[in-house]
A and B are shown apart, each in its own frame.
Chain A
């Protein structure tokens, strides 16, 4: 301190003394009440003292040195005693007071001897703490108790408290509406930061809606939510898997158990008329950014992920489920209209976990487990198989020869391999490790996480799919709380090292197939006959390798321009890139195949998306209501680039991964690139009248580059309204009904998911003519291509009973898609056979009923029991199609019937006389043609849903989830199409109940090697296209079981651990189903069934 400052200080002290005396002289004259009423915020302590002095008539004496810079952050005192008032003022300050006569003397606190000693030797002294809410704001008036004992302190207005307790004390901090939290005082504890999490009714849980958050209680729309905690209970690597059966109105179906395979997601039924042209996948938004890949496959070359054209590697395989805070599914018009042309098939919002204010926490989680296939059909053993083949030849009256009965004549009839066990019977090991660091202050919160996941396969050999991921979330608020910034970034990389084919397909090999030769090497063509039955173990050499990476980043800047007006903008970027190769070396191929050479395929696919969304939001009160107005715009670009290189002619397996080893003429390449741009302006007005009447208008004007210049822009909008009738006076105090709401919404959304450039009158090139390039029109020009519209109507009733202990919601919906986009057949005189166009006047209707019930069966004491139930009754039908019978769809669809209807011949069972399957010949022409066909049913589920139960007793938590579906599916008997039991393929043991002698009544036809005439009415072939090919594939599956145990805090405090949890998870533990011959979900005994996974894990928080 220099001389000048010292002088200034001395001067100030003198002046203060004079002033203090002046105050004393001035105030002593009058009598005053000793009750105080103080309302200040951020006032200098000196000012507060002056106010107290005025109200009480007491004088203050203090050294202004002690008060320099001290402020009272916030005081709301009404008619309190002088003592309490002073206490409140000085709380947290290093000052004490003494009242003498009518003078209040303010002094610096004298440290007690104990305090001085403890300072000296570092014993636990007075412990300061702060109790904050989930947003980092202090909670005033929270109670601090010694566990099981008395309240010892309350927090002040900033949520702070100071206590004096011995080491080892367990504190219990409680606050109304929040869960009780424990904290342990250790030797080194000087400052505690306790973050309370809200203990709220399910109704008040915050869901993410389009461009805002809100609670179910006040929502006008239909949004279903799955929390990250529920996701964490499931040992799955793809977050979509965790949604199976959990969301009413949404069907998630798994085609394959291969790691990384995509799942089909469908919200409220099929609306896409032309499956090959438009997609029915919902819009996926990850932290505000539309995922560039969405739920489409990202691989360009074939992998082991499934047989269909849409089956493939999913971008979700690169997302760490543990980083997800919640998944919200938006279904009705009110919720989806704000997404305009992209919301027709529903919207799925994925939000990642954010940091919470409080001291830095380290959370570690390790899991390890094993997966196995669930229901694979039991196939015939060699003895049964050989008998079957012999019986088939006898039935057919065909003499077995080396060429038609090589398995009997050339192969060892005693050799046996259980191919199911060999090929998919292995244990797939799963290992997962997560590490996150989170915490922050009132102004800044962060969460950083890293994770590693490794998933093996049930195939033989060392193959796996690995994922490494990193996640960062930062929230920052400026000092004046006007400016906030939210950053979320996600990076995931998924590496697949798999075979190129699902080996499960080889379970149909004859069980006496020779795998190894005499030298222990892989065997080929036993009996020297090439019959294109390859050694499945050689297929293992045909590898599929891919490296996929995902990046998602979003930055939201928000500025409070005025008290009621926020402006903000989000900037998002999403990218998925996949680099893959499939190698088919000579060692994977039959040496007797013609044109033998190694070949390989290389693929590179890149999908990028950027989005900028400026917004302005107004929140204010008008009359008794709250008004919220949102106005925004979207600029979005998605670009894709793909490159595929096929190379053949490798003469050596060593060079197969490179292009240089291929023959120079054997390399072919092709590439694709596309750009999609999307632009919109949107607005929403939400008005809430006393939490009773809520109305919500949304509107959007959209432009999409997928349509012709005249049809790029269109308007979409919706209105939603809710009446919370339980807030009306007569019901307000009802003991039974605690919550009641009637809501409805109506609006329109669009579908532009037809791929890029369909409207263009595109010319493409194909070879040279006269040594120069040529161009020719690729397709018909359709300038009239326009939006497919989806009008959605929904009415919902939501009820809560007994203080919301039982919550019920029921919704009925009707979605009508009109003017579907199709690839329509044209007479060839137009030059082309199809055109992409809208079917004007055609309407597809999806209707349904969705019910959910949440019941808190037991809530008191240490035991709690909660049940969640959801149920959906869907219906799909073609509502309108003018002149359907004249269209090219006259056989495929029918008015009033589902788009997924099964149109086939009537199966009439096994003819007891001939032993062959028969179908009904309706028109008597001895042929089974479409003229004989009828509607058998539909592939839509009749109903589906799930029930979960969650029990907790003290530190134990147990939950299980059952999923059920009633549906039709493919019968096992048709799984090996064109090859009836009796041909040289193995079949499930179920085939043993076949017809043997005239008069036998059974459901499996006689063993035969012939499939029957294509248009005939008897035999395996006609049967495959009849109602007999479909069977009941309903099931109830124990989808998930979760058991955990929390170790008591006091044991942990010794080792500085905040919490520790052991858990065991089980997925797909069992299924109850009448379906025979495999899994009712995959419905095919030649495909890998969903895996049963059991894992155990440990979660630690430091």
Chain B
């Protein structure tokens, strides 16, 4: 008996030793072929750069060709465009109808699934990249600096839109879902603080040169340009002017210059472009082109308010807007639609158009406004006329009158922004709100109510997060 016990004990001890030493290793499986773990992604500069490219790609990407517009791929242009006075809808059955009528339900699918959700998804991705780069032993110090700066740029850009569309919002800065799932709304000022911090970091750590042959990844000037915009929104006129100047003069005309031909402004070859976002994958170049360009009745016609705002001889009215005449039941009607991008869908493998995220004319207009606010009226007019001069090619050029007062000049700048930046990244909607003109301008719309200036926080999230509060005027 005893001898058996010894055998059993020995066998048992042996088996346990064997399994304990072998098993931990044994149940570690190799990575799946179609997935990579964080650890592997951030092993080298090149793979980490793929993750950063993914951030830009996600901003404009979509999961399928026919799925709804997502993030900056069109939802912002359209939702903000119809919410303001730039765009109208040709059919009340359109998914943006609640935006157009300024009566968005808190369970609106586009609001939740195409704006709120994808934007927070990109923010998660930026947080994942920032966290992982910080921990990564494999990525070089210069690589870390460059990539973290790009990720922070993308995070700032996304928070910029969220805070402007929704007001006080939750601000996840980590990847811990347990923490993030119960985050409360925090005041917009705190969101802006993060945006400024991120953009300053980006500006300090990005190089002036672009990576790659096109302007698809943020450089120092892209960060400065977005920073200039944020300072403008924050009414920090001095900084807005300084940063705009940094962009306009810092790189020189060899890098950034207005494209004299308006039809080339939005091409990938445009020298005016500070940052473009490229639609990954499909043969669709921009969602803007896909959504706006039509051969019949366009889905998103330009509003009369915008169409009738152009000065005489403004070439933008003909270059950037196209008109279709459609005859229904013997009655002909003209439909005007945005034509900044010329292609509805791509035609070949060489992409000629990508969505413009930041371009030089906005920077001139930022500086003009910042200077006007500081009562530097002559310089402000000079900047304004740089933009006007390209669009209005009459001789002599009708320069902005030097006697225009500060308020008058600000109105002219606001008008110039309307006709220059229409249907680009929701500028009109955000401008009306930040300048306090929204109620005045939009009360012409039938259902306008002041609370419509903020979009509702999606009910789906409020249902799942007890600390999340709805914006006033929504249930």
Contact = CB atoms under 8 A, between A and B. Distances in A.
B112 interface: yes
Contact of A705 (B8, B27, B127, B282): B27
B37 interface: yes
B280 A774 contact: yes
B50 A629 contact: no
Contact of A633 (B15, B123, B278): B15
B172 interface: yes
Contact of A629 (B8, B26, B127): B8
- What band does the interface of chain B fall in when counting residues whose beta carbon is under 8 Å from A? 35 or more
Contact of B35 (A562, A683, A760, A835): A760
B27 A826 contact: no
Interface stretch (A316-324, A500-508, A763-771, A1039-1047): A763-771
B41 A775 contact: yes
The listed residue with most B CB atoms (<10 A of its CB), out of A677, A767, A769, A774, is A769
Contacts of B397: none
A565 B10 CA distance: 13
Interface stretch (B17-25, B101-109, B314-322, B334-342): B17-25
Contacts of B15: 614, 616, 631-633, 681
A294 to B, nearest CB: 19
A781 interface: yes
A772 B53 contact: yes
Interface string A284-316: 000000000000000000000000000000000
Given A635-B26, A825-B464, 18 more contacts: A567-B11, A614-B15, A620-B4, A631-B12, A679-B26, A760-B31, A760-B35, A763-B37, A766-B54, A769-B53, A770-B53, A775-B41, A775-B54, A780-B175, A827-B468, A829-B183, A830-B180, A831-B124
B117 A833 contact: yes
Given A769-B56, A776-B54, A828-B120, A673 B32 contact: yes
A821 to B, nearest CB: 16
Nearest to B354: A770
B400 interface: no
A568 to B, nearest CB: 12
B61 A631 contact: no
Interface string B42-73: 00000101110111111001000000000000
Contacts of B460: 827-828, 833
29 contacts: A567-B11, A620-B1, A620-B4, A631-B12, A671-B34, A678-B27, A679-B22, A701-B19, A704-B27, A760-B32, A761-B37, A762-B36, A762-B37, A763-B35, A763-B36, A763-B38, A769-B53, A775-B51, A775-B54, A777-B125, A780-B124, A781-B38, A782-B177, A827-B181, A828-B460, A831-B120, A831-B175, A833-B117, A888-B463
B4 A618 contact: yes
B32 A757 contact: yes
A676 interface: yes
A807 to B, nearest CB: 37
Contacts of A770: 53, 56, 211-212, 214, 216-217, 278
Contacts of A829: 120, 169-170, 172, 180-181, 183, 461, 465, 468
Interface in A879-914: 886, 888
A725 interface: no
B125 A776 contact: yes
B114 to A, nearest CB: 11
A62 interface: no
B116 interface: yes
A956 interface: no
B116 A828 contact: yes
Given A616-B15, A828-B458, A831-B120, A767 B57 contact: yes
Given A704-B27, A829-B172, A768 B461 contact: no
- What band does the interface of chain A fall in when counting residues whose beta carbon is under 8 Å from B? 35 or more
Contacts of B23: 679-681, 703, 713
B22 A774 contact: no
Contact of A763 (B28, B41, B180): B41
What 10 pairs between A and B have smallest CB-CB spacing?
A: A831-B124, A767-B281, A767-B280, A762-B35, A776-B54, A827-B461, A774-B54, A769-B57, A828-B117, A769-B53
B354 to A, nearest CB: 10
Contacts of B61: 766-767
Interface in B69-85: none
Contact of B37 (A567, A675, A760): A760
Interface in A641-693: 671-681, 683
A50 interface: no
Contacts of B56: 769-770
Interface in B212-243: 212, 214, 216-217
A918 B32 CA distance: 52
A888 B181 CA distance: 14
B312 interface: no
B7 A562 contact: yes
A562 B11 CA distance: 13
Nearest to A825: B464
B395 interface: no
Given A618-B8, A675-B30, A768-B280, A830 B172 contact: yes
Interface in A777-800: 777-778, 780-782
A562 B10 CA distance: 14
B121 interface: yes
A835 B280 contact: no
B464 to A, nearest CB: 4
B331 interface: no
A567 B4 CA distance: 13
A774 B216 CA distance: 13
A1024 to B, nearest CB: 24
A762 B36 CA distance: 5
Contacts of A778: 35
A776 B35 contact: no
A769 B280 contact: yes
Contacts of A776: 51, 54-55, 57-58, 125
B466 interface: yes
Interface string A909-932: 000000000000000000000000
